[in-house]
Amino acid sequence: MVMVDEIDLNAKKQETIWVAHSLFNRCKTSGTTANISFLHDNTIYISCSGSCFGTLTEDDLAGVPLYGNSSNENIMKKPSKELPLHRVLYQKHVDVKAVIHTHSPYATLWSCLPHPDSRNIIPNYTPYLRMQLGKVVGVPYAAPGSEELFTLFEQCVGDERGYLLLNHGPVVGGETMMKTFAALEELEQSAWIACYINENKHLNIKEIS
């Protein structure tokens, strides 16, 4: 007899795979430069190190404890080196059940520019980013996968669920995988708008209140 919990876990895996494929197929990520996870029964199911969103399968999802260290993790499937970014959001936000980190083009481009307000790094030109995600916080640069990056990220995490690693890319958490996906999509779209307006200052477009 198949348990309800097992059905729920399988559904979350299939949803995660669909989101990963969708992001890859629409050039929102490339190669092995992204990671994705969801939380189920105090276990983080995260894409394995070196996996590609375009070919992600259930075999590419490593199950690791929400609370624990690398010595307790399943060495048969090596989780993404940026697992600590996901853990921080899960541990600090009880409502966050899915996390996506990509190097989507416009969000990454925007992350390379100077910004006066690190707690509100993407301008509010349309209402949709605030509706889907809220304010996005900038996280100072440190090498990808480094302890310095994880420490800086943890220090920056507050009530917000959207973060932009400077010179790197976005990290978004949400209540479900599909809500996280929608929020990440809106972040990328808002970054595209911001980049365009930044390049065309003569348009004199203002943020909305």
Estimate to the nearest angstrom the gap between the alpha carbon of 192 and the chain centroid.
17
Q: Residue 165: name the closest of 7, 67, 12, 33 by CA.
A: 33
Residue 160 annotated as catalytic: no
Residue 120 identity (one-letter amino acid): N
128 is catalytic: yes
CA 42-100-208 angle, to 5 degrees, is 125
Say if CB 79 and CB 62 are below 8 A apart: yes
Nearest to 23 by CA among 194, 182, 130: 182
Rounded CA-CA distance 124/28 in Å is 21
15, 73, 125, 128: the catalytic one is 128
Amino acid at 116: P
Would you please indicate which residues are annotated as catalytic (active-site) residues? 82, 128
